[in-house]
Amino acid sequence: MGVAVITGAAGGIGVAVVKAFENANYDCVLLDRQKIDKPSSVSIALDLSNPVDVQSAFAKISERFSEIDALVNLAGVNLRSSVRNMQVTDWDKLMNINVGHMFLTAKCAMSMMRLGSTITNMASISGHVASADYPAYVTSKAAVESLTIALSKELKGAGIRVNAVAPGWVNAGFTHAALDTSDDPGAIFAAAKEAHLLGRMAEPDEIADAILWLAGPTATSVNGQTLFVDGGLMRKH
């Protein structure tokens, strides 16, 4: 199918996305700060918020592949802290990974893209339902959608589509971290049941399937969009 570069590939959703792209016969390049031991793919351990690391990763990618068909930006971090209590450095760190890395990877990848290549960025319903407990995270996810639209316009002449995916709660990564630190995991499942029209959170494979479709050759007229893969959460809100 082509070459897919996937950031945050070691994460809960990332693992499912890599599996979906591999099953669709993409050659996958996996970028994450965690080392990934996967012989079927090319893996590069790096700090995606560091421009030098990202440039050096794309230099390596260009030695191995002549073009990139799909760039999928999934890496992200979360931080529960009010504006009042948050350190400026923590705000900057979160923005540099959650949005900054999408700017860096797009900047590096676009010269290796061709007609039909795609960029798919991980947004979140959090960018629309801005919780007071996570101001940096919700702001970063709203910014991902604006960057996505701006990139779709910048790349229009090249026939490169740029879209975002916005999940609700996913049974993976961030949600598991919240479950692990919660005194009452049952309350989290109950909240998820209450929040989504479907009465449950999404499985990572469901998010991966949406990303694979958006990034692939059958979504040819979908561009500059955010696809809500949220079990109807936004319709209930």
CB 16 within 8 A of CB 207: yes
User: Shortest distance, CB of residue 113 to ligand NAD, whole angstroms?
Assistant: 21
Q: Under rule CB under 6 A, which residues in 34-73 are in contact with ligand NAD?
A: 34, 47-49
Phi, then psi, of 40 in degrees rounded to 5: -75, -10
DSSP 54-69: HHHHHHHHHHH-S--S
Catalytic site includes residue 134: yes
Please name the residues in contact with 216: beta carbons below 8 A apart, sequence gap of 6 or more.
1, 24, 70, 118
120, 124, 139, 148: residue in contact with ligand NAD (rule CB under 6 A): 124
Considering beta carbons, is residue 157 or 186 the nearer one to ligand NAD?
Answer: 186
Length reported for the chain = 237
Q: Which strands sit side by side in the sheet containing 2-7, from one edge to the other?
A: 42-45, 26-32, 2-7, 70-73, 118-122, 161-167, 226-229
- Tell me the C-alpha to C-alpha distance, in Å, between residue 185 and each of 13, 79, 166: 20, 19, 23
CB 121 within 8 A of CB 102: yes
Considering beta carbons, is residue 74 or 227 the nearer one to ligand NAD?
Answer: 74
CB 122 within 8 A of CB 66: no
Binding of residue 147 to ligand NAD (CB under 6 A): no
Contact code string over 178-217 relative to ligand NAD, x by CB under 6 A: ----------------------------------------
- Tell me the C-alpha to C-alpha distance, in Å, between residue 231 and each of 13, 41, 169, 215: 16, 31, 9, 20
Among the listed ranges 9-17, 19-27, 147-155, 183-191, the one in contact with ligand NAD (CB under 6 A) is 9-17
Size of the site for ligand NAD (CB under 6 A): 26
Binding of residue 99 to ligand NAD (CB under 6 A): no
3-state secondary structure of 15: helix
Among the listed ranges 7-15, 20-28, 84-92, 189-197, the one in contact with ligand NAD (CB under 6 A) is 7-15
Binding of residue 174 to ligand NAD (CB under 6 A): yes
Binding of residue 231 to ligand NAD (CB under 6 A): no
Catalytic: which of 21, 26, 58, 134?
134
Considering beta carbons, is residue 112 or 172 the nearer one to ligand NAD?
Answer: 172
Binding of residue 120 to ligand NAD (CB under 6 A): no
Known catalytic residues are 134
Q: Under the rule (CB under 6 A), what is the footprint of ligand NAD? A: 8, 10-14, 32-34, 47-49, 74-77, 97, 122, 124, 167, 169-170, 172-175
